Amino acid sequence: MQGKREKSGAGNDLTKRVIYLLVILAVYRVGVHIPTPGVDNVALQELFARFEGTLLGLFDMFSGRALSQFSIFALGIMPYISASIIIELLTVVWPHLSRLKKEGGQEGRRKLTQYSRYLTVALSLFQGFALGLYLERGTMGSSSVVLQPGMSFRLMTMLTLSAGTSFIMWLGEQITERGIGNGISIIIFAGIVEGLPSAVIGVFSDLSSNEQSVLRMAFMGAGLLLVTAGVVYCERAQRRIPVQYAQRMVGQKLMGGRSTHLPLKLNPAGVIPPIFASSLIMFPATLGQFVELPFLDMLTMRNSWLYNVVYVALIVFFCYFYTGVQFNPEDVAENMKKNGGFVPGIRPGKSTADYLDKVLTRLTLWGAAYVSIICLLPNLIMDYFNVSFYFGGTSLLIVVGVALDTLGQLRSYVLNQQYDGILKKGLTGMGRIQPRRR
């Protein structure tokens, strides 16, 4: 009976966390439909219809269609992601931030998170002002998108959108702490999958109106399914490096002598590189609202060669950068040496670190190539079949990656709850042992 109660308690706790996650996502979806005052919605929809298939259309999908509706969540979570990128880069070149990251412990991580929040607000204010200025310039025929242009509209837009981004940032942190983790990624996931039902309805509408043939749509669906299966396979792919632990005496016991492996994922950075790359490539599009340069206009077009080249270059850079941040070969080699572990045929210490760095560099190259192909291939499929919706490789990688990570979080949480229940049961049983009477 006690074991059943413990399992029931763990299940109830997990159910509460899932319900909390759904409530937070419902709040987020309600905020997406709250419009920012001072905008003509009809002219706004006509204006954003021109950006279908561009970079702004991609960010509109990331924000759950909040950008095209110009809601209070129009900027989405991208300013926070951009701020996180900048802070991570500064930890490499700024000694103070580097010390906070390496030696600060929990307090150092808390301060870095605080700096990211401050920078998020600053970026949100800048992007909100730029977006308000852009909407003032945007006209559809004789009608203006903004009802009453002026500095008051720009300031109101700047404050409203920055407050909306700050609230989304808080929602993501609540999901991470009280939900099932990966708060920011889950919010992006929710924004992407929001458009799937309407996309499916649009496909059936095209079929019923004979704008697309059944065979053509079947080939497109098969291509997307194959790409999805490839993403799932590659996300689970690992390079397993064998590790042998030598036998050693600990007290009066002989420990070690076992064989294991060190798993290195093909794509250890996960969905971070395409998200970071998409976020950074948005800056030229924002600057293009102030300075009219041809190459800035090309960066906003998803099918332009300049956009694809810059996008792939940023993906490769962030694959190496984020992998280097998350995995330090020297620290891993040192820990293996302290615990009596070694890679067969490789000397412990520096030789092991060099070997791990060499393997990881080659593996990251293949992982970056895989991520780049996945982010570009669905775009080519969509352009070839000329469909009426957009679901690119970045979106596919994010959706599959977040789904796999969330399932892993749920599985780990259930196992931890069961392990804690076993420990509590064992400690309770030990407490009942009565001392032997003499």
Q: Which of 279-293, 400-414, 418-432 has the highest mean pLDDT?
A: 400-414
Dihedral sign for Cα 281, 159, 194, 410, please.
positive
CB 336 within 8 A of CB 348: yes
Band of residue 346 on the pLDDT scale cut at 50, 70, 90: confident
In angstroms and rounded to an integer, the radius of gyration of the C-alpha atoms of the chain is: 26
Domains assigned to the chain: 1-194 (1.10.3370.10), 195-419 (1.10.3370.10)
- pLDDT of residue 288 exceeding 70: no
Q: Which of 10-24, 42-56, 237-251 has the highest mean pLDDT?
A: 10-24
| 38-59 average pLDDT score | 70
Tokens found for residue 51: 């950006």
Distance, CA of 283 to CA of 94 (rounded, Å): 23
pLDDT value for 423:
61
Whose tokens are 């984020």? That residue is 322
Which among 238, 262, 264 is positioned nearest to 339, based on CA atoms? Answer: 262
Q: DSSP string of 214-242? A: HHHHHHHHHHHHHHHHHHHHHHH-EEEEE
Band of residue 23 on the pLDDT scale cut at 50, 70, 90: very high
CB 318 within 8 A of CB 277: yes
393-416 confidence digits (pLDDT tens):
677 788 888 888 888 888 877 777
- pLDDT of residue 163 exceeding 90: yes
Band of residue 3 on the pLDDT scale cut at 50, 70, 90: low
pLDDT value for 119:
92
CB within 8 A of 318, min separation 6: which ones? Answer: 269, 272, 273, 276, 277
- pLDDT of residue 245 exceeding 70: yes
CB 266 within 8 A of CB 277: no
* Its pTM surpasses 0.85: no
- Lowest mean pLDDT, pick from 21-25, 289-293, 368-372: 289-293
Q: What percent of the chain has pLDDT over 90?
A: 9
SS (H, E, C) 375-406: HHHHHHHHHHHCCCCCCCHHHHHHHHHHHHHH
Distance, CA of 123 to CA of 76 (rounded, Å): 12
pLDDT value for 165:
92
Tokens found for residue 81: 């992601």
- DSSP E strand stretches across 19-82: none
DSSP-based three-state secondary structure for 264: strand
Mean predicted lDDT score pLDDT of the chain: 78
126-160 confidence digits (pLDDT tens):
988 888 887 887 654 445 778 888 888 889 999 99
Tokens found for residue 198: 């309407």
Tokens found for residue 28: 């987020």
Tokens found for residue 47: 């204006």
- pLDDT of residue 228 exceeding 80: yes
Which among 321, 346, 337 is positioned nearest to 248, based on CA atoms? Answer: 337
- Lowest mean pLDDT, pick from 34-38, 323-327, 367-371, 375-379: 375-379
- Lowest mean pLDDT, pick from 51-60, 61-70, 225-234, 391-400: 51-60
DSSP letter at 211 equals: S
Alpha carbon distance, N-terminus to C-terminus of the chain:
34
Q: What angle do CA 130, 133, 136 make, to 5 degrees?
A: 150
Distance, CA of 351 to CA of 349 (rounded, Å): 6
Which among 256, 227, 232, 235 is positioned nearest to 244, based on CA atoms? Answer: 256
**Which class for 374: exposed (0-12), middle (13-18), buried (19 or more C-beta within 10 A)?**
buried
Please count the CA atoms within 13 angstroms of the CA of 235 that sit on its side-chain side: 21
**Which class for 156: exposed (0-12), middle (13-18), buried (19 or more C-beta within 10 A)?**
middle
Residue scoring higher pLDDT (105 or 173): 173
CB 242 within 8 A of CB 342: no
| 176-183 average pLDDT score | 82
- pLDDT of residue 225 exceeding 60: yes
DSSP-based three-state secondary structure for 249: strand
- pLDDT of residue 331 exceeding 80: yes
CB within 8 A of 163, min separation 6: which ones? Answer: 72
- Lowest mean pLDDT, pick from 37-46, 51-60, 319-328: 51-60
Band of residue 438 on the pLDDT scale cut at 50, 70, 90: very low
Distance, CA of 39 to CA of 72 (rounded, Å): 12
Dihedral sign for Cα 275, 309, 52, 44, please.
positive
φ, ψ at 39 (rounded to 5°): -125, 140
| 33-42 average pLDDT score | 84
Distance, CA of 216 to CA of 207 (rounded, Å): 10
- pLDDT of residue 61 exceeding 80: no
